[in-house]
Amino acid sequence: MLTIGAFAKACRLSPKALRLYDELELLRPSRVDPDTGYRYYALDQLEQARLVAWLRRLGMPLSRIRQVCALEPADAAREIRAYWAQVESETAARRDLAEFLIDHLISTPRKDTTMLELHYAAHSDRGRVRPANQDTAYAGTRLLAVADGCGPEGAAASSAAVDALRFLDTAELPAGNVLNLLEEAVQGATEAVRDAADGTGEDTGTTLTALLWTGSRLALVHIGDSRAYLLRDGALFRITDDHTVVQSLIDEGRLTPEEATTHPQRALLLKALSPTTPASPDLRLHDAAPGDRYLLCSDGLSGIVPDAHIRHLLTSTPAPDTAVHALIDAANEAGGPDNVSCVVADVVERGLAG
Ligand code: MG
C-alpha cells in the first residue's frame, strides 16, 4: 500500500488530482483509513492511474474517461479511437471556420463579381411510393432552398421553413455579416416550424438546406440530411455533411460508408428544424466562380441515385430546368421511394444566356 503522496509521485499525478479522481469515482483508493481519512493505493492501481493521466492529456472529458476505464483493453482501445476521430472531425470543422474568417478579414471585394448572376430552376416531386409530398423546393434571384419535412405536419413544416427565408430574396444584404442574417432567418424558420407543427411536437420537423446569393458568394445554411453539391470544372463536390446518426458513426470510425448505405437507421436524423429544439445549423460562405453549378436536393435524390450518375446528369444538361427534371426522372426510374426535390443554379456572367 502506498500513501497518496508516494502514489502520486509514482504515477506523476498530483495528490490534488488523485483526490478529485476519487470524488469523481475515476480512481478510488484501495483503502481509506476510517479514523484519519487518509487514502491508500495498491501498487496494481498504478496502471489505471497512468491511463487516466494519459487520457487527460488527450483532453478527454472525465465522464468519458470513467467509461473507458471500465472497459476491457480491446474495447477501451476502440473507444479511444472513436474519441480521437471525433476530435479530428471537430477540429477540421473549426479549421474551415478559421480559414474562412482569415480570408474574410483580409480579402477585398472582387471587382468583377458584379457581373455575375444566377440562372436557376427548382422542382419537387411526390415520387412513386409516398402518398403525399412533404418536400419543398424554391429558387429565386437570391435564395435557393430545399426542405424535407417529416412527421404528421411535415409538409406544412417544410413549406413554413422555406417561406420564412423568402424575405431574403429581396432583402437588403448587409455587407460583411450575411451569415448572421442567415442565422437569424433560421431562428425565424424554427418559429414558423413550431407554428406549422400545430401541437404535434417533436414528431414534426424538417431539414433545411439553403444558399443565399450575395453577388459574389453563396452563403450556405444547412441542417438535416438534404444536400448541397458543387459541380466545378467537371468534378462534383458535396459541400454539406449529413446530420444523421449513421454519418456520426462513420465520423467516429464505427461504421464504413459502405455499411452505412444499407444501415436500417440510415434516415434517422441527428439534427433538424424541430419545434422543440433550438436550431444549430451549419453556416458557411462559398466563393462563386463563373461556370459553377450548384445542386440542392432532398434525400429522395441522393439516397437512391449514386453521386456518379448525379454528376453525369449535371454535366450533360446545359439548362438548369432540364437538369432538375433529368435528376427527378432518375430518382423515379430507380423506384422513386421518397419525395424528391432538386434546385439547380448556375453562376453565369451577366447578360449571357443560360
Ligand atoms: Mg426525404
Q: What is the pLDDT of residues 88-143, one digit of tens each?
A: 888 887 787 787 777 767 765 554 556 889 999 999 999 999 999 999 999 999 99
Instruction: Please report the sign of the dihedral spanned by the C-alpha atoms of residue 302, residue 305, residue 309, residue 312.
Output: negative
Long-range (24+ apart) CB contacts under 8 A made by 34-40 are 38/3, 38/4, 39/3, 39/4, 40/1, 40/2, 40/3, 40/4
Distance 341 CA to ligand 1 centre (A): 9
* C-alpha 12 to ligand 1 mean position (Å): 54
Give the CATH architecture of domain 2-70: Orthogonal Bundle (1.10)
Dihedral sign computed on CA atoms, order 299, 305, 309, 313: negative
pLDDT the model gives residue 353? 56
Tell me, yes or no, if the pTM score tops 0.85: no
How is 269-317 classified by DSSP, letter by letter?
BS--B-SSS----EEEEEE--TT-EEEEE-HHHHTTS-HHHHHHHHHS-
Q: How far is the CA of 40 from the centre of ligand 1 (A)?
A: 59
CATH code of the domain occupying 114-349: 3.60.40.10
Ligand 1 center–CA 338 separation, angstroms: 6
Quote the percentage of the chain above a pLDDT of 90: 56
Give the pLDDT confidence of 154-206 residue by residue, as tens digits. Answer: 999 999 999 999 999 988 887 668 888 999 999 999 999 999 998 877 789 99
Helices (H), 107-244: 154-165, 178-197
Instruction: Concatenate the DSSP letters of all residues of 204-225 into one string.
Output: -EE-EEEEEE-SSEEEEEEESS
Q: What is the pLDDT of residues 12-60, one digit of tens each?
A: 889 998 998 888 888 999 999 999 999 999 999 998 898 988 898 888 8
Report the DSSP beta bridge partners of residue 286: 218
Cα(218) to ligand 1 centroid in Å equals 24
DSSP state of 338: S
At 58, is the secondary structure helix, strand, or coil?
coil
CB 116 within 8 A of CB 288: yes
| 103 CA → ligand 1 middle, Å | 35
Distance from the CA of 119 to the center of ligand 1, in angstroms?
Answer: 25
Q: How far is the CA of 354 from the centre of ligand 1 (A)?
A: 29
Confidence of residue 323 (pLDDT cuts 50, 70, 90): very high
Length of the chain counted residue by residue: 354
Task: Say yes or no to pLDDT of 354 above 50.
Answer: no
Per-residue confidence (pLDDT) for residue 143, from 0 to 100: 97
Q: Are 345 and 118 a contacting pair, CB within 8 Å?
A: yes
pLDDT in tens, 246-299: 888 877 767 777 788 788 888 788 889 998 888 889 998 888 889 999 999 999
- Gap from CA of 339 to ligand 1 centroid (Å): 6
Task: Specify the pLDDT at position 156.
Answer: 95
Boundaries of every domain in the chain: 2-70, 114-349
336-352 confidence digits (pLDDT tens): 999 999 999 999 988 76
